[in-house]
């Protein structure tokens, strides 16, 4: 395993993070525990969850992911083996966002952030989380596949300074070690950093946004924050919900796969994405590489990537994904990737 600094925290995190959003939907508790054991054995030290998981979010399963992680953490010695990250949901601003959490009241205010964290801690069976992230912004903005800024005047929005002040109190209470954001924009990240400097509040140490061969929008605007402010990327969807593994070639939908089960993941199967994916998968195979490891190795190679979040439904996938850290793509392969990207940029934003 390789490790990189988590912002300015002094902590080093594994280049691969174990993602958990399938636990409780596509994976059982026993399978979740097996994944944790295997990942830790391979050097993974960061696990990422969220209060709304598993995905797709449903009232019947909400919180199961954290519960499964919690029963593993409760086993003797396990809490000390990993850094635990989880996330507080934001307000319902788009149709796909869950309405069942706290009766639809998921704003980033004191009452909701406190309740969200306390509930997560109970499910996780721990007194603190190492990294607490705001899952998406409190305001309407261009996230989750939306490129154009929406120009929406929200009837109410919790100011970033107010949310960060609440998180500061939770840090002081010992319930959180560090603060992160997710699905955030350059404007939002800039405001968080400014508020921390002006008001003496906790500094954001990481940003969890999508990044893959099919979505490199992070490079525009946000990568510079990683460089100059040491706010590293925790890259999610590095395989584009699995399409970059090549298993959906020719329109295939393997039984039990995410695209076969859940229509909401069509973001990575539009015609432009299908064409680009075919080219990336072909390039990987031409170079004798497993397409999934090839796609992950690209994300791993980026200087702004702190850790790549992988999710697997079986142990063979998990081991293959984790060992992508051993792959060096080389300058010629990176140049070939760039040629495809220039021809078909960001088909799955």
Residues that are catalytic = 53
The rounded distance, in Å, linking the Cα atoms of 306 and 308 is 7
CA angle 179, 114, 163 (to 5 degrees): 50
CA angle 96, 181, 329 (to 5 degrees): 95
Are residues 44 and 20 in contact, defined by beta-carbon separation less than 8 angstroms?
no
Are residues 22 and 313 in contact, defined by beta-carbon separation less than 8 angstroms?
yes
The rounded distance, in Å, linking the Cα atoms of 70 and 51 is 12
HSE at residue 91, side-chain half, CA atoms within 13 A, is 15
Residue with tokens 């590489």: 289
The rounded distance, in Å, linking the Cα atoms of 104 and 100 is 6
Are residues 146 and 205 in contact, defined by beta-carbon separation less than 8 angstroms?
no
């Amino acid at each position: 395993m390789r490790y990189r600094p988590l912002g300015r925290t002094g902590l080093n995190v594994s280049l691969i993070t174990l993602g958990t959003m399938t636990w409780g939907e596509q994976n059982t508790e026993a399978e979740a525990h097996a994944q944790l054991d295997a990942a830790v054995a391979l050097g993974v030290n960061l696990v990422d969850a969220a209060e709304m998981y598993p995905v797709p979010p449903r009232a019947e399963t909400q919180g199961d992911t954290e519960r499964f992680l919690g029963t593993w953490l409760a086993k003797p010695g396990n809490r000390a083996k990993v850094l635990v990250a989880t996330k507080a949901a934001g307000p319902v601003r788009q149709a796909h966002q869950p309405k069942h959490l706290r009766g639809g009241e998921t704003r980033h205010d004191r009452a909701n952030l406190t309740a969200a964290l306390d509930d997560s801690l109970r499910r996780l069976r721990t007194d603190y989380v190492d990294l607490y992230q705001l899952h998406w912004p409190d305001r309407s903005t261009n996230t989750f596949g939306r490129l154009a800024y929406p120009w929406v005047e929200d009837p109410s929005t919790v100011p970033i300074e107010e949310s960060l002040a609440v998180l500061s109190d939770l840090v002081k209470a010992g319930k959180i070690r560090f603060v992160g954001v997710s699905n955030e924009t350059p404007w939002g990240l800039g405001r968080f950093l400014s508020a921390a400097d002006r008001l003496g509040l906790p500094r954001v140490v990481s940003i969890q946004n999508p990044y893959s061969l099919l979505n490199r929008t992070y490079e525009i605007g946000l990568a510079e924050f990683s460089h100059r402010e040491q706010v590293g990327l925790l890259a999610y969807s590095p395989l584009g919900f699995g399409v970059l593994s090549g298993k959906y070639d020719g329109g295939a939908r393997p039984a039990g796969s995410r695209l076969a089960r859940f229509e909401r993941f069509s973001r990575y199967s539009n015609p432009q994405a299908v064409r680009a994916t075919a080219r990336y998968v072909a390039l990987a195979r031409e170079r004798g590489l497993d397409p999934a490891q090839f796609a992950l190795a690209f994300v791993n190679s980026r200087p702004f990537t702190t850790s790549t979040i992988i999710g697997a439904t079986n142990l063979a996938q998990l081991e293959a994904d984790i060992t992508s850290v051993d792959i060096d793509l080389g300058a010629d392969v990176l140049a070939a990737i760039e040629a495809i990207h220039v021809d078909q940029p960001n088909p799955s934003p």
